[in-house]
Amino acid sequence: MTTRTASNGANGFLRAEDAERSNGHSNGHTNGGSNNLNGSSTANGHTNSSSTNNGSNNSMKVVHRRKSDRKKSSPMMPTFMVSAPGKVIVFGEHAVVHGKAAIAAAISLRSYLLVTTLSKSKRTVTLTFPDIDFNHVWNIDDLPWSTFSHPSKKKYYYDLVTTLDPDLVAAIQPCLANVSPDKPSEIRKVHQNSAGSFLYMFLSLGSQSFPGCQYTLRSTIPIGAGLGSSATIAVCMSAALLLQLRTLSGPHPDQPPDEARLQIERINRWAFVYEMFIHGNPSGVDNTVSTQGKAVMFQRTDYSKPPKVQPLWDFPELPLLLVDTRTAKSTAHEVAKVEKLKKTHPKLVGSILDAIDKVTESANGLIDEEDFDTENEECLRRVGELMTINHGLLVSLGVSHPRLERVRELVDHEGIGYTKLTGAGGGGCSITLLRPNVSRQKLDRLEEQLDEEGYQKFETTLGGDGVGVLWPAVLKNGMDEDEEGGMEIDLENFLKAEGNEGVERLVGVHGGVGEREGWKFWRVES
């Protein structure tokens, strides 16, 4: 296995193993409770001095020497950014509900979280999601720290949390009472869920000495389209808090593979906590794909046990056309529809689900072949045919939608690629694996038609990077400002960026050229 990481921008990151050795359950903080995350102090926040038989002068010399050995207080943490990708299910929808395997992969549409540390005198934490018109401020000292820090409740960054503590959930409720009080009930519920999941994680990982911060999130992922948008927020928040606590190491070029995977798993564990607060009993596949990138083979045969998740570290990057039908869907409704059909026709529906499982297995084997080439038309054709078969089987289960079938019709007419629904169906999104060397003229013609009919199209990549860090939030973009250290992404510019195009241009991914210099990822490949 090899690890491909790079980070000269992660200066000051504490190595995880050093953090765990430091005072046991330190949770990334010194016992002195210093607000200075870069600083260091001895236990209890002061040096120990003892008088000697030589009198007070020698004692004073000891104290003086120890004070001079102390590290100087460091400036507050720089503004930094964390990013995480959305996901699509490529093979195995609905069959996965019935114990079969599914393959889910990351896409290049992402969420971006800007973390701004405030001066020590400002004792507030602010959550701002401008894309959903959400903004709220809490006084750090008013939060229920005593409940979360009680010995019977306290969690640490290395803990595995598989259920939410009802007492901790209850302790948060007063902090949610005045969140978005003037919004309609449905919107207010979304805002309160976002606020509650953040506070549960913030209070679990942090302490009352945590510095004042503003967390601002922008996303290029359609909400409610089955692309894992909430999981990307969860992963961004998890990574940001763990970075602030100095409990992550890297990404850096010489990071051992085992350590890199430990970091990914740590982020993923706490992202799952965030997801539990929103979804109750999430599968874990969305946050897993968003954290590690690439793809996973996912299977859950017993819902009383954790699912089996096999990372597909070498999943190739594939050109993808994602189309949002802008048609509301209900995952629960579509799942219930298949369940009812299975009860009515158990053998027939069972054979369809088995066939979907075979498609997933075949796709995994094909992509895993040593000579699989993403530039080879024959290789892509074989994957595309499996996608077509998978879609046809889903249609036979009744989970497609006229808007999804219209996308297939338009794509097939232009001969652009291979299309299938992704997720629960009944609306939502379709994905199209593009044929090699598709002309720009055909893509433009398709986009014009989709626009006329009220669809939203994204040209993206399948199987890309997982969680990434821009530390500090400064880009090298080949322009004049590079001579002065690069272009800083500040809060004002981030909030003013218009739409997906504006956000992507600001953070350095505009034009399909990938992240510019500065973005670093925990990349682990077999």
**Cβ burial, residue 72 (10 Å; 0-12/13-18/19+):** exposed
Strand partners, 114: 81, 216
The contacts found for 512-515 with CB under 8 angstroms, 24 or more apart, are: 512/459, 512/461, 515/465, 515/468
The string of DSSP letters for 81-101 reads EEEEEEEEEEE-TTGGGGT-E
356, 97 contact by CB (below 8 A): no
Active site residue 18: no
Q: Which two tokens stand for residue 148?
A: 């979360």
Residue 83's φ and ψ, nearest 5 degrees, are -140, 145
Q: Is 195 left (phi over 0), alpha (psi -120 to 50) or beta?
A: alpha
450, 323 contact by CB (below 8 A): yes
**Burial call 305-341: b when 16+ CB within 10 Å, e when fewer:** eebebebbbebbbbbbbbbbbebebeeeebbebbeeb
Q: Which two tokens stand for residue 320?
A: 């993808």
Q: Which is nearest to 274 in space by CA: 469, 511, 84?
A: 84
Residue tagged active-site, from 131, 254, 286, 465: 286
State the sign of the Cα–Cα–Cα–Cα dihedral 87, 93, 98, 101.
Answer: negative
**Cβ burial, residue 279 (10 Å; 0-12/13-18/19+):** middle
Q: Which residues are catalytic?
A: 286
